[in-house]
Protein backbone atom coordinates (compact mmCIF):
# COMPACT_ATOMS: atom_id res chain seq x y z
CA UNK A 1 0.00 0.00 0.00
CA UNK A 2 1.26 3.47 -0.92
CA UNK A 3 1.27 6.17 1.79
CA UNK A 4 1.89 9.88 1.30
CA UNK A 5 3.35 12.74 3.29
CA UNK A 6 2.87 16.41 2.58
CA UNK A 7 6.06 18.44 2.43
CA UNK A 8 6.00 22.24 2.62
CA UNK A 9 8.92 24.12 1.05
CA UNK A 10 9.76 27.75 1.86
CA UNK A 11 12.88 29.28 0.33
CA UNK A 12 14.98 31.28 2.77
CA UNK A 13 17.05 32.87 -0.03
CA UNK A 14 16.68 33.58 -3.74
CA UNK A 15 15.69 30.41 -5.56
CA UNK A 16 16.59 29.49 -9.12
CA UNK A 17 15.46 26.11 -10.40
CA UNK A 18 16.22 26.33 -14.11
CA UNK A 19 13.78 25.59 -16.90
CA UNK A 20 16.41 23.61 -18.81
CA UNK A 21 15.73 25.57 -22.01
CA UNK A 22 17.39 28.57 -23.61
CA UNK A 23 15.68 31.95 -23.68
CA UNK A 24 15.71 34.33 -26.64
CA UNK A 25 14.64 37.29 -24.47
CA UNK A 26 16.57 39.64 -22.21
CA UNK A 27 16.61 37.06 -19.36
CA UNK A 28 19.06 34.29 -20.18
CA UNK A 29 18.23 31.78 -17.43
CA UNK A 30 14.51 31.37 -16.77
CA UNK A 31 12.99 29.45 -13.86
CA UNK A 32 11.11 26.17 -14.20
CA UNK A 33 7.34 26.48 -14.65
CA UNK A 34 4.44 24.05 -14.58
CA UNK A 35 3.54 23.32 -18.20
CA UNK A 36 -0.21 23.50 -17.54
CA UNK A 37 -0.53 26.56 -15.29
CA UNK A 38 2.70 28.39 -16.26
CA UNK A 39 3.24 29.02 -12.54
CA UNK A 40 6.65 28.58 -10.86
CA UNK A 41 7.33 25.10 -9.53
CA UNK A 42 10.04 22.63 -8.61
CA UNK A 43 10.22 19.41 -10.68
CA UNK A 44 10.10 16.15 -8.78
CA UNK A 45 13.52 15.22 -10.13
CA UNK A 46 14.97 18.46 -8.74
CA UNK A 47 13.43 17.86 -5.32
CA UNK A 48 14.63 14.26 -5.26
CA UNK A 49 18.13 15.26 -6.33
CA UNK A 50 18.36 17.96 -3.65
CA UNK A 51 17.21 15.58 -0.92
CA UNK A 52 19.56 12.84 -2.10
CA UNK A 53 22.48 15.28 -2.05
CA UNK A 54 21.55 16.26 1.49
CA UNK A 55 21.31 12.64 2.66
CA UNK A 56 24.59 11.81 0.89
CA UNK A 57 26.24 14.32 3.20
CA UNK A 58 24.78 12.52 6.22
CA UNK A 59 25.96 9.16 4.85
CA UNK A 60 29.48 10.52 4.37
CA UNK A 61 29.50 11.62 8.01
CA UNK A 62 28.18 8.23 9.15
CA UNK A 63 24.94 9.81 10.37
CA UNK A 64 22.69 7.94 7.92
CA UNK A 65 22.80 4.22 6.97
CA UNK A 66 23.76 3.69 3.34
CA UNK A 67 21.23 0.86 3.12
CA UNK A 68 18.47 3.35 3.96
CA UNK A 69 19.80 5.73 1.31
CA UNK A 70 19.31 3.02 -1.32
CA UNK A 71 15.91 2.08 0.15
CA UNK A 72 14.67 5.68 -0.21
CA UNK A 73 16.30 6.84 -3.45
CA UNK A 74 17.40 3.66 -5.16
CA UNK A 75 20.92 2.83 -6.32
CA UNK A 76 22.87 4.27 -9.21
CA UNK A 77 24.76 2.08 -11.65
CA UNK A 78 28.48 2.05 -10.91
CA UNK A 79 31.02 3.36 -13.40
CA UNK A 80 31.87 -0.14 -14.61
CA UNK A 81 28.13 -0.75 -15.17
CA UNK A 82 28.44 -4.16 -13.55
CA UNK A 83 25.49 -3.62 -11.20
CA UNK A 84 21.87 -3.03 -12.09
CA UNK A 85 20.09 0.06 -10.82
CA UNK A 86 17.58 -0.49 -8.02
CA UNK A 87 14.38 1.51 -7.67
CA UNK A 88 13.84 3.32 -4.39
CA UNK A 89 10.70 3.03 -2.28
CA UNK A 90 10.03 6.80 -2.31
CA UNK A 91 8.28 8.80 -5.05
CA UNK A 92 8.82 12.56 -5.28
CA UNK A 93 6.11 14.72 -6.85
CA UNK A 94 6.52 18.13 -8.45
CA UNK A 95 6.30 21.00 -5.95
CA UNK A 96 3.39 23.37 -6.60
CA UNK A 97 3.06 27.05 -5.75
CA UNK A 98 1.01 27.73 -2.61
CA UNK A 99 1.62 31.42 -1.85
CA UNK A 100 3.83 34.25 -3.05
CA UNK A 101 5.18 37.27 -1.12
CA UNK A 102 3.65 40.67 -1.91
CA UNK A 103 5.44 43.73 -0.55
CA UNK A 104 3.14 45.74 1.73
CA UNK A 105 2.85 49.12 3.41
CA UNK A 106 1.98 48.00 6.96
CA UNK A 107 4.15 44.86 6.88
CA UNK A 108 7.35 44.07 4.98
CA UNK A 109 5.38 41.52 2.99
CA UNK A 110 2.13 39.55 2.85
CA UNK A 111 1.81 35.96 1.68
CA UNK A 112 -0.67 35.96 -1.20
CA UNK A 113 -2.66 32.98 -2.40
CA UNK A 114 -5.68 32.63 -4.68
CA UNK A 115 -8.86 30.53 -4.86
CA UNK A 116 -7.37 28.60 -7.79
CA UNK A 117 -4.24 27.68 -5.83
CA UNK A 118 -6.41 26.51 -2.95
CA UNK A 119 -8.57 24.41 -5.29
CA UNK A 120 -5.42 22.80 -6.70
CA UNK A 121 -4.17 22.04 -3.19
CA UNK A 122 -7.49 20.42 -2.19
CA UNK A 123 -7.50 18.32 -5.36
CA UNK A 124 -3.96 17.12 -4.65
CA UNK A 125 -4.84 16.10 -1.07
CA UNK A 126 -7.66 13.96 -2.44
CA UNK A 127 -5.48 12.48 -5.16
CA UNK A 128 -2.85 11.35 -2.64
CA UNK A 129 -5.41 10.41 0.05
CA UNK A 130 -3.82 12.87 2.44
CA UNK A 131 -5.92 13.44 5.60
CA UNK A 132 -7.02 17.03 6.32
CA UNK A 133 -9.07 17.83 9.42
CA UNK A 134 -12.68 18.85 8.92
CA UNK A 135 -12.34 22.45 10.14
CA UNK A 136 -9.36 23.20 7.90
CA UNK A 137 -11.07 21.57 4.93
CA UNK A 138 -14.21 23.65 5.53
CA UNK A 139 -12.28 26.94 5.69
CA UNK A 140 -10.24 26.16 2.58
CA UNK A 141 -13.37 25.13 0.69
CA UNK A 142 -15.05 28.46 1.55
CA UNK A 143 -11.96 30.39 0.44
CA UNK A 144 -11.82 28.47 -2.84
CA UNK A 145 -15.34 29.71 -3.69
CA UNK A 146 -14.68 33.41 -3.03
CA UNK A 147 -14.67 35.84 -5.94
CA UNK A 148 -11.98 38.50 -5.57
CA UNK A 149 -11.79 41.73 -7.56
CA UNK A 150 -8.70 42.11 -9.70
CA UNK A 151 -7.31 45.06 -7.74
CA UNK A 152 -8.46 44.02 -4.27
CA UNK A 153 -7.52 41.38 -1.71
CA UNK A 154 -8.77 39.97 1.58
CA UNK A 155 -6.71 39.72 4.78
CA UNK A 156 -7.10 36.29 6.31
CA UNK A 157 -4.55 36.01 9.11
CA UNK A 158 -5.51 36.95 12.67
CA UNK A 159 -2.00 38.39 12.95
CA UNK A 160 -2.94 40.95 10.30
CA UNK A 161 -5.10 42.67 12.93
CA UNK A 162 -8.03 44.85 11.86
CA UNK A 163 -6.21 47.39 9.75
CA UNK A 164 -8.22 48.61 6.78
CA UNK A 165 -7.33 49.72 3.28
CA UNK A 166 -3.71 48.65 3.36
CA UNK A 167 -1.90 48.01 0.12
CA UNK A 168 0.14 45.06 -1.08
CA UNK A 169 1.97 45.77 -4.33
CA UNK A 170 -0.78 47.34 -6.46
CA UNK A 171 -3.88 46.04 -4.66
CA UNK A 172 -5.99 47.34 -1.77
CA UNK A 173 -6.57 44.75 0.94
CA UNK A 174 -9.36 44.75 3.51
CA UNK A 175 -10.20 42.57 6.49
CA UNK A 176 -13.43 40.51 6.14
CA UNK A 177 -15.76 40.51 9.11
CA UNK A 178 -15.81 37.48 11.43
CA UNK A 179 -13.39 35.36 9.46
CA UNK A 180 -10.29 33.71 10.86
CA UNK A 181 -8.18 31.00 9.28
CA UNK A 182 -6.91 28.10 11.35
CA UNK A 183 -3.34 28.06 12.72
CA UNK A 184 -2.58 25.08 10.46
CA UNK A 185 -3.47 27.14 7.37
CA UNK A 186 -1.33 30.06 8.48
CA UNK A 187 1.58 27.71 9.16
CA UNK A 188 1.30 26.09 5.74
CA UNK A 189 0.51 29.16 3.60
CA UNK A 190 2.51 31.68 5.63
CA UNK A 191 1.71 34.51 8.05
CA UNK A 192 -0.05 37.76 7.09
CA UNK A 193 -1.98 35.75 4.53
CA UNK A 194 -4.09 37.50 1.92
CA UNK A 195 -6.45 36.12 -0.74
CA UNK A 196 -6.06 37.75 -4.16
CA UNK A 197 -7.51 37.39 -7.63
CA UNK A 198 -5.65 34.61 -9.47
CA UNK A 199 -5.05 36.79 -12.54
CA UNK A 200 -3.29 39.32 -10.32
CA UNK A 201 -1.10 36.62 -8.76
CA UNK A 202 -0.34 35.02 -12.14
CA UNK A 203 0.74 38.42 -13.47
CA UNK A 204 2.93 38.99 -10.39
CA UNK A 205 4.89 35.75 -11.03
CA UNK A 206 5.18 36.01 -14.82
CA UNK A 207 8.49 36.55 -16.59
CA UNK A 208 7.99 40.32 -16.75
CA UNK A 209 7.54 40.83 -13.01
CA UNK A 210 9.76 38.29 -11.27
CA UNK A 211 13.12 39.72 -10.18
CA UNK A 212 16.27 38.89 -12.10
CA UNK A 213 19.90 39.31 -11.17
CA UNK A 214 22.81 40.27 -13.39
CA UNK A 215 25.63 37.72 -13.26
CA UNK A 216 29.10 38.11 -14.67
CA UNK A 217 31.97 35.73 -15.34
CA UNK A 218 35.33 37.45 -14.98
CA UNK A 219 38.63 36.34 -16.50
CA UNK A 220 41.54 38.20 -14.88
CA UNK A 221 39.21 41.07 -14.08
CA UNK A 222 37.76 41.26 -17.58
CA UNK A 223 34.07 40.55 -18.20
CA UNK A 224 33.68 37.49 -20.41
CA UNK A 225 30.03 36.62 -20.00
CA UNK A 226 27.36 38.95 -18.63
CA UNK A 227 24.01 37.21 -18.23
CA UNK A 228 20.70 37.67 -16.42
CA UNK A 229 19.16 35.05 -14.18
CA UNK A 230 15.56 34.92 -13.00
CA UNK A 231 14.88 34.13 -9.34
CA UNK A 232 12.00 33.58 -6.96
CA UNK A 233 12.18 35.87 -3.89
CA UNK A 234 12.52 34.33 -0.45
CA UNK A 235 9.43 33.23 1.45
CA UNK A 236 7.73 31.78 -1.62
CA UNK A 237 5.70 28.80 -0.38
CA UNK A 238 5.42 25.47 -2.24
CA UNK A 239 4.03 22.07 -1.37
CA UNK A 240 4.68 18.60 -2.66
CA UNK A 241 3.81 15.02 -1.81
CA UNK A 242 6.31 12.30 -1.06
CA UNK A 243 4.84 8.81 -1.41
CA UNK A 244 6.40 5.59 -0.16
CA UNK A 245 5.77 1.89 0.06
CA UNK A 246 7.52 1.51 3.42
CA UNK A 247 8.48 4.41 5.66
CA UNK A 248 12.15 5.15 6.38
CA UNK A 249 12.33 6.54 9.91
CA UNK A 250 15.95 7.64 9.45
CA UNK A 251 14.97 9.81 6.47
CA UNK A 252 12.20 11.56 8.40
CA UNK A 253 14.36 11.97 11.50
CA UNK A 254 17.15 13.56 9.47
CA UNK A 255 14.88 16.15 7.85
CA UNK A 256 13.16 17.01 11.11
CA UNK A 257 16.45 17.47 12.97
CA UNK A 258 17.77 19.83 10.28
CA UNK A 259 15.08 20.89 7.78
CA UNK A 260 17.31 23.15 5.63
CA UNK A 261 17.92 21.75 2.13
CA UNK A 262 19.61 23.44 -0.83
CA UNK A 263 17.47 23.23 -3.99
CA UNK A 264 18.41 24.39 -7.47
CA UNK A 265 21.50 26.11 -8.78
CA UNK A 266 24.15 28.45 -7.37
CA UNK A 267 24.58 27.11 -3.84
CA UNK A 268 28.02 28.73 -3.68
CA UNK A 269 26.49 32.22 -3.78
CA UNK A 270 23.70 31.49 -1.33
CA UNK A 271 20.83 30.57 -3.66
CA UNK A 272 18.24 27.89 -3.00
CA UNK A 273 18.35 27.38 0.77
CA UNK A 274 14.89 26.10 1.68
CA UNK A 275 13.14 25.04 4.85
CA UNK A 276 11.17 21.81 4.56
CA UNK A 277 8.47 20.51 6.87
CA UNK A 278 6.89 17.03 6.69
CA UNK A 279 3.26 16.36 7.59
CA UNK A 280 1.49 13.03 8.05
CA UNK A 281 -1.84 14.87 8.34
CA UNK A 282 -3.27 18.35 8.79
Residue 115 · residue 98 · CB < 8 Å: no
How far is the C-alpha of 22 from the C-alpha of 13, rounded, in Å? 24
Per the domain annotation, does 243 fall within a domain?
no
Residues 6+ apart with CB under 8 A from 80: none
Per the domain annotation, does 185 fall within a domain?
yes
The total of structural domains in the chain comes to 1
Per the domain annotation, does 179 fall within a domain?
yes
Instruction: Point out which residues pair with 125 in neighbouring strands.
Output: none
Per the domain annotation, does 241 fall within a domain?
no
Q: What is the helix, strand, coil percentage profile of the chain, to 5?
A: 30, 30, 40
198 lies in which domain range?
100-209
pLDDT in tens, 81-139: 555 577 888 999 999 999 999 998 878 899 999 999 999 999 999 999 999 999 999 99
pLDDT in tens, 177-215: 656 788 899 999 998 899 999 999 999 999 889 988 777
Q: Which residue has the higher pLDDT, 265 or 243?
A: 243
What's the pTM value of the predicted model, to 2 decimals? 0.90
Q: Which residue has the higher pLDDT, 32 or 18?
A: 32
Residue 3 · residue 247 · CB < 8 Å: yes
Q: Which uninterrupted H or E stretch holds 217?
A: strand 212-219
Per the domain annotation, does 238 fall within a domain?
no
Per the domain annotation, does 132 fall within a domain?
yes
Amino acid sequence: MIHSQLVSIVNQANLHVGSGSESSGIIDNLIYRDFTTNLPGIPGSGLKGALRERINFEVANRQFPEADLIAVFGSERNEAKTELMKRGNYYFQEATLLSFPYRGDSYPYYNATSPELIISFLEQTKLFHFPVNEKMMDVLHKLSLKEIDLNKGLKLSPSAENLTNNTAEDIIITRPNSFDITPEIELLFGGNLILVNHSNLARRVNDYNLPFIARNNLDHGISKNLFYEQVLPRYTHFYSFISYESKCNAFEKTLKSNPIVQIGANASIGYGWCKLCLYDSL
